[in-house]
Amino acid sequence: MTGQEWMFVVLGLIGTVAAIRLVTTREIVHGALYLTVTLSTIAGAYLIMAAEFVAWVQVLIYVGAIVILFLFGLMLTRAPIGRAALDNQQRAVAAVIGLAILGGLSYLLLEAFPWDSAERISGDPAGGTAGALGESLFRDYVLPFEAVSFLLLAALIGAIVLSRKDDRAR
Amino acid sequence: MIAAEVVEHAGNGGFARYAWIVALLPFVSTVLTLFFGRRTPGKGAVYGITAIGVGLVLSLLVLWNFVQDGPTVHDAVDWFSIGSLRMQVGQYVDGLTAVMLIVVTVVSLCVHVYSLGYMHGDERYTWFFVVLSLFTGAMANVVIAENLFQLLVGWEVMGICSYLLIGHWWEEHANSSAAIKAFLVTRTGDIPFTFGIFALVVATGATTSSIPAITEAAERGELSIVWATAAALLLFGGAIGKSAQFPLHVWLPDAMAGPTPVSALIHAATMVAAGVFMIGRMFQVFLHADPIVLTIVSVVAGITMLIAALLAMIQGDIKRVLAYSTVSQLAYMVAGLSLGEAGYTAGLFHLFTHAFFKALLFLGAGSVIHAVHTNEMTEMGGLRRPMPRTFWTFLIGSAALSGIPPLSGFWSKDEIISTAFHEHSYILWAVAAFTAILTAFYMTRAVLLTFFGEYRGHGHPHESPAVITGPLIVLAALSCVVGFLNATAFNIYEFSEWVHIGEGEHPPFNYGFAALSIVGAVLGIAAGYRVYSRYREPEPLRALGPLYVVLENKYYLDEIGWRGIVRPVRDQVSAATYWTNQHVLDAAVNATAWVTRKVAGVANLFDRRVIDGAVNAAAGTAGFTGGLLRYLQSGNVQRYAAFLFAGIVLLAIVFTRV
Amino acid sequence: MIRLALPLLFSAALFSVGVYGVLARRNAVLVLMSIELMLNAVNVNLVAFSQRIGEITGQVFALFVIAVAAAEVGIGLAIVILIYRNREMINIDEVNLLKW
């Protein structure tokens, strides 16, 4: 285990614990904050994996925008402040399913890429620079890029339409 | 005795081959009159008159073939076969056929022309002519028929036409009753007739009903005596019915309810003569049967002759006098035939001559009735002055009937009477001679009551129009003349040439018997004159006392018929039939219906419980499982998501491990 | 460099936690947050493999995922707000009009 690996393990643990806290906490705003923690640790993981552009995009968008969105949503829907019953009836089933998926996925992944295999993630930062990404994005994947921008426009309009008050049809 | 040589010319029959057209034309005119009669000017009489006029010409041409000693014509076409029996349609034309055709067409034509005047204004004028034509066609068919079944067809059609025509004015109940009586009584005679035909067909091997085939077989002696006797008696039964012999004579007087032209055509000249004609046609069968047959025939004829003449004496209705006279004269014809070979020609010659003068008498009576609007002679009288043509023709007719020479009746009736004597049938001879006297008596009575004395009625009689008197004159002329066709006193044997059996002896004219006949006729006339020259009320013959009462009630035969036959059948037999129908037949039908209903009930039960049950159970199961399955739909999205993910896990396991 | 198994395990863990959250949480916003967890797990996976095999496609894909996730959160929250407007609450398990 190299030092980077230890680093990754620590970040991973923090992220996982925060995620677990997100899905089990009884205070909803705490949940949003736990989400922030998780997202940040993920950004850190990206950095360790030398995907710096993605890491910063993660921070900007996820941590910066999406979490704020969530907080706005909580505010607008009068989320309960303080302790509240936030779990539904099928917790047990959900736990079972979650554990099953964890077990299944882990098993599959470890079977394909064992712990002791010689495969390593290269730490070459050149593969994750903004320039490299930009090149790829605007050369090879320009069409999906435009499509996604279209999608974002649609989402924007949709959100506005959905959330405006219906004054006319009263 | 001069035996004429009969030379068979090797001709092809000349116009005799076309005799069937004479039978066909009236049927054509029937159809035409039926469909187009009302729209034709003159209301359709023209078709019948034309058809029969042409038929008359053709009949004369047919006779011409036999005048020239031509051969008989025999044609037939196959119609269908039943087993070995071939049913054919065809013509058999010999001398008898030819003279009968003349009779039919002449009388029918006279009656048609007469009806133009007599039936004028009648509401069923066109229909009258339709049935007249149909009848003429049927009679012609009987005359030319090649086989017995064809003859039977014409026979029966004539029966129907007789019914239709007697009941022409059916609004009067008496007329329709008379029509039914006529039909039923002749039908009663037709039953043995039909069986006689069957007997002959079977006796000749059941292959044909062809008349020449059967008569030739009889002549050759191929028919056993038993068959021939049975067949002859049965055939005679038909003649009794159709020709109104005792005991089936009761319908003819009542048939006078029909219009007078009908009486003239059907009940004087043609239909009633068909029975006699049929005996003449099948004479070989009679000859080769047991002699008892001919004896029975002559007994029946003798009885009929006498009782009918007695009844004619007391009738007040002029048509009834003539009706009974017809019965009596028909008996003469039958009597002639019953004398065997010797009387064959005489009997048929009397048929020939009688047709003309009897038709004349009826038409004359019709003319009188038309003028005074009544049939009863008590309301007539003195009509010879206003109606001279009718009077003179009627007088000629009665003289012919009474047997005054040289009119035709003398030649034919005298022949029969003398033949009876020669054949040693003395009783028959005595009866015939006495009846001749009676005949003269009642005809004189009729003439005196109608045309002499003072008019006792209330109307203004005047002579009938030419369409009525024209035929009278024609028939009177014929009555004078046709006798000479077989005037044996002058050695004229024309008729015998045409109509004979065997070699045909030509008996010489016996002046003795002729004188006797003339004396008898004069006696009758004188007696009649003595009693009736001055009209007296009440009827002078009532002096006969109880005999008169018996005659008045027609020997109570009608009562016997009514009580003995009609009432039992109508009341008891019908009631029994009704009971059987209700309780036996209907019970069977109802039982079947009940069973069907029960079966239907079972089927219904099965359908509802079993089949519908199965269907409903299937539906119920579907509903039940659906009802269970719907609980899966909780509406809770997370629940669905749980299933989704669980499914993914399972699929993952399945795809990787299995 | 780190061994490949680590980010993979990390992603597996995050994903299963996200699944639990989607299934077990009542509040709609919490469900959406759990969905974000799942998406991030996928992203980690993508980036890990992208760096392992040297193709940059994975990271491009990850970028797209992030963009789409952002759009999805926007719309999702709009819908949640609508639900809140109609029902005064956003407990998913009480939104069951399609219940039998």
Token couple for A169: 């049809």
C53 half-sphere exposure, CB direction, 13 A CA radius: 10
CB contact under 8 A, B649 and A104: yes
Which has more pLDDT, B380 or B319? B319
In terms of CA atoms, which chain C residue is nearest residue A160? C78
CB atoms < 10 A from the CB of B481, how many?
Answer: 13
Does the pLDDT value for residue B168 go beyond 80?
yes
The predicted structure's pLDDT at residue B621? 92
C-alpha B51/C-alpha B112 separation (Å) is 11
What residue type is assigned to position C5 of the chain? A
- Looking at B158-265, which runs of residues are DSSP E strands? none
**Looking at the partner chain, which of C2, C18, C81 has a beta carbon nearest the beta carbon of A4?**
C2
User: Average pLDDT, whole number, for chain A?
Assistant: 89
Does the pLDDT value for residue A88 go beyond 70?
yes
**Cis peptide upstream of residue A80 (ω within 30 degrees of 0):** no
**Looking at the partner chain, which of C33, C48, C78 has a beta carbon nearest the beta carbon of A162?**
C78
Chain A and chain C share a number of CB contacts under 8 A equal to 265
pTM higher than the cut 0.80: no
What residue type is assigned to position B50 of the chain? T
C-alpha B289/C-alpha B224 separation (Å) is 8
The predicted structure's pLDDT at residue B537? 65
Which has more pLDDT, A28 or B549? A28
Measured in degrees and rounded to the nearest 5, phi and psi for residue C95 equal -95, 85
Q: How far apart are the first and last CA of chain B?
A: 137
On chain B, the residues whose CB falls within 8 A of the CB of C99 are 633-636
C-alpha B28/C-alpha A150 separation (Å) is 101
Q: List the alpha helices (DSSP H) in B545-636.
A: 546-552, 557-561, 567, 574-580, 586-605, 612-629
Kindly state whether C87 is in contact with chain A, defined as any CB-CB distance less than 8 angstroms: no
- What 8-state DSSP symbol labels residue B537? S
Does the pLDDT value for residue B81 go beyond 70?
yes
Q: Which residue has the tokens 């005996």?
A: B279
Using CA atoms of A131, A137, A142, A143 in order, give the dihedral in degrees to the nearest 10. Answer: -170
Does the pLDDT value for residue B539 go beyond 70?
no
Does the pLDDT value for residue B562 go beyond 80?
no
CB atoms < 10 A from the CB of B505, how many?
Answer: 13
Q: Which residue has the tokens 């009341």?
A: B571
C-alpha B247/C-alpha B308 separation (Å) is 11
CB contact under 8 A, C93 and B641: no
On chain C, the residues whose CB falls within 8 A of the CB of B625 are none
Read off the pLDDT of residues A28-85 as tens digits, 9 standing for 90 and up: 999 999 999 999 999 999 999 989 999 999 999 999 999 999 999 999 988 888 787 8
How many residues are there in chain A? 170
C-alpha B155/C-alpha B140 separation (Å) is 10
Q: Please report which helix (H) or strand (E) contains residue B86, including its range.
A: strand B85-93
**Looking at the partner chain, which of C12, C29, C84 has a beta carbon nearest the beta carbon of A109?**
C12
Longest dimension (CA), chain A: 68
Kindly state whether A71 is in contact with chain C, defined as any CB-CB distance less than 8 angstroms: no
What residue type is assigned to position B70 of the chain? G
Closest to B236 measured CA to CA, from B322, B320, B295: B295
Question: Distance from B651 to chain C by nearest Cα, in Å?
Answer: 17
**Looking at the partner chain, which of A90, A94, A104 has a beta carbon nearest the beta carbon of B652?**
A104
Question: Distance from A25 to chain B by nearest Cα, in Å?
Answer: 18
Q: Is residue C65 assigned to a domain?
A: yes
C-alpha B418/C-alpha B516 separation (Å) is 10
The predicted structure's pLDDT at residue B560? 73
Q: What are the distances in angstroms from CA A158 to CA A127, B137, C75, C95?
A: 36, 106, 7, 22
Mean pLDDT of A102-127: 82
C-alpha B314/C-alpha B307 separation (Å) is 12
* 3-class secondary structure, A51: coil
User: Average pLDDT, whole number, for chain B?
Assistant: 84
Measured in degrees and rounded to the nearest 5, phi and psi for residue B268 equal -130, -50
Q: Is residue C71 assigned to a domain?
A: yes
CB contact under 8 A, B645 and A108: no
Which one of 1.10.10.10, 1.20.120.1200, 3.40.640.10, 3.40.605.10 gives the CATH number of domain A1-87? 1.20.120.1200
**Looking at the partner chain, which of C21, C54, C92 has a beta carbon nearest the beta carbon of A22?**
C21
**Looking at the partner chain, which of B645, B653, B656 has a beta carbon nearest the beta carbon of A97?**
B645
* 3-class secondary structure, A68: helix
**Looking at the partner chain, which of B630, B631, B636 has a beta carbon nearest the beta carbon of C93?**
B636
Mean pLDDT of B355-371: 90
* Confidence at B248, pLDDT banded by 50, 70, 90: confident
On chain A, the residues whose CB falls within 8 A of the CB of C22 are 94
CB atoms < 10 A from the CB of B84, how many?
Answer: 9
Closest to B161 measured CA to CA, from B177, B181, B137: B137
Using CA atoms of B530, B531, B533, B539 in order, give the dihedral in degrees to the nearest 10. Answer: 180
* Confidence at B205, pLDDT banded by 50, 70, 90: confident
CB contact under 8 A, C24 and A95: yes
C-alpha B171/C-alpha B160 separation (Å) is 18
On chain A, the residues whose CB falls within 8 A of the CB of C81 are 73, 76-77, 162-163
What residue type is assigned to position B654 of the chain? V
- CA A159 vs. chain centroid, Å, equals 21
Q: What are the distances in angstroms from CA B588 to CA B575, B591, B596, B600, C93?
A: 19, 5, 12, 18, 77
Token couple for B172: 């009067």
Closest to B110 measured CA to CA, from B467, B380, B458: B467
Question: Distance from A125 to chain B by nearest Cα, in Å?
Answer: 35
Interface with C, mutate which of B629, B632, B640, B645 (most C CBs under 10 A): B645
Domain definitions of chain B by residue range: 305-344+371-552, 561-643
CB contact under 8 A, A117 and C4: yes
On chain C, the residues whose CB falls within 8 A of the CB of B645 are 19, 23
| C-alpha torsion sign, points B499, B501, B502, B503 | negative
The predicted structure's pLDDT at residue B1? 33
| C-alpha torsion sign, points B451, B453, B455, B456 | negative
Question: Distance from C38 to chain A by nearest Cα, in Å?
Answer: 10
CB contact under 8 A, B645 and A88: no
Long-range contacts of B531-535 (CB under 8 A, 24+ apart): B531/B445, B532/B444, B532/B445, B532/B448, B532/B449, B533/B448, B533/B452, B534/B453, B535/B381, B535/B449, B535/B453, B535/B454, B535/B456
Closest to B323 measured CA to CA, from B406, B390, B372, B256: B256
Token couple for A111: 């079977």
User: How does strand B73-82 pair with strand B85-93?
Assistant: antiparallel
Question: Distance from C46 to chain A by nearest Cα, in Å?
Answer: 11
The predicted structure's pLDDT at residue A101? 93
Does the pLDDT value for residue A114 go beyond 50?
yes
- CA B656 vs. chain centroid, Å, equals 111
Cβ atoms of residues B416 and B350 within 8 Å: yes
Beta bridge partners of B493: none
Token couple for B40: 């034709």
The predicted structure's pLDDT at residue C63? 95
Cβ atoms of residues B638 and B646 within 8 Å: no
Q: Which residue has the tokens 């009949």?
A: B59
- B267-281 b/e with 16+ CB inside 10 Å = b? bbbbbbbbbbbbbbb
Domain definitions of chain A by residue range: 1-87
C-alpha B20/C-alpha B226 separation (Å) is 34
Does the pLDDT value for residue C35 go beyond 50?
yes
Cβ atoms of residues B22 and B55 within 8 Å: yes
Does the pLDDT value for residue B544 go beyond 70?
no
C-alpha B566/C-alpha B51 separation (Å) is 41
Question: Distance from B647 to chain C by nearest Cα, in Å?
Answer: 13
B 523-562 → C contacts, CB under 8 A: none
CB contact under 8 A, A51 and C33: no
* 3-class secondary structure, B547: helix
C-alpha B401/C-alpha B361 separation (Å) is 9
Read off the pLDDT of residues B132-151 as tens digits, 9 standing for 90 and up: 999 999 999 999 998 899 99
Kindly state whether C38 is in contact with chain A, defined as any CB-CB distance less than 8 angstroms: no
Read off the pLDDT of residues B173-199 as tens digits, 9 standing for 90 and up: 888 988 998 898 888 889 999 999 998
Cβ atoms of residues B100 and B40 within 8 Å: no
In terms of CA atoms, which chain A residue is nearest residue B652? A104
* Confidence at B3, pLDDT banded by 50, 70, 90: very low
On chain B, the residues whose CB falls within 8 A of the CB of A108 are 652, 656
Q: Which residue has the tokens 């002696």?
A: B221
- What 8-state DSSP symbol labels residue C95? -
- CA B424 vs. chain centroid, Å, equals 34
Q: Which residue has the tokens 């028959």?
A: B428
Token couple for C23: 């299934």
Does the pLDDT value for residue B5 go beyond 60?
no
Does the pLDDT value for residue B121 go beyond 70?
yes
Q: Is residue C99 assigned to a domain?
A: no
Q: Is residue C18 assigned to a domain?
A: no
What is the count of structural domains for chain C? 1
CB contact under 8 A, B635 and C31: no
Question: Distance from A169 to chain C by nearest Cα, in Å?
Answer: 16
A 10-49 → C contacts, CB under 8 A: 12, 15-16, 19-20, 22-23, 28, 31-32, 35, 38-39, 42, 45-46, 48-49
Residue B305: CB partners within 8 Å, gap ≥ 6?
A: B328, B331, B332, B335, B431, B432, B435
C-alpha A50/C-alpha A129 separation (Å) is 8
**Looking at the partner chain, which of B634, B638, B642 has a beta carbon nearest the beta carbon of C99?**
B634
On chain C, the residues whose CB falls within 8 A of the CB of B634 are 96, 99-100
C-alpha B251/C-alpha B181 separation (Å) is 6
Closest to B479 measured CA to CA, from B418, B413, B401: B401
Which has more pLDDT, B414 or B573? B414
DSSP codes of every residue in C36-86: HHHHHHHHHHHHHHHHHH--SHHHHHHHHHHHHHHHHHHHHHHHHHHHHHH
The predicted structure's pLDDT at residue C16? 96
* Maximum mean pLDDT: which of A68-77, B419-428, B566-575: A68-77
CB contact under 8 A, B645 and C23: yes
The predicted structure's pLDDT at residue C77? 93
Mean pLDDT of B389-403: 90
Closest to B96 measured CA to CA, from B279, B255, B233: B279
C-alpha C18/C-alpha A23 separation (Å) is 8
The predicted structure's pLDDT at residue B504? 57
Read off the pLDDT of residues B492-519 as tens digits, 9 standing for 90 and up: 777 777 777 766 566 667 777 778 888 8
Full residue range of the structural domain in which residue C33 is found: 27-92
Q: Name every residue in B having a CB less than 8 A away from some CB of A.
A: 636, 638-639, 642, 645-646, 648-649, 652-653, 656
- CA B477 vs. chain centroid, Å, equals 27
Kindly state whether B626 is in contact with chain C, defined as any CB-CB distance less than 8 angstroms: no
CB contact under 8 A, B639 and A90: yes
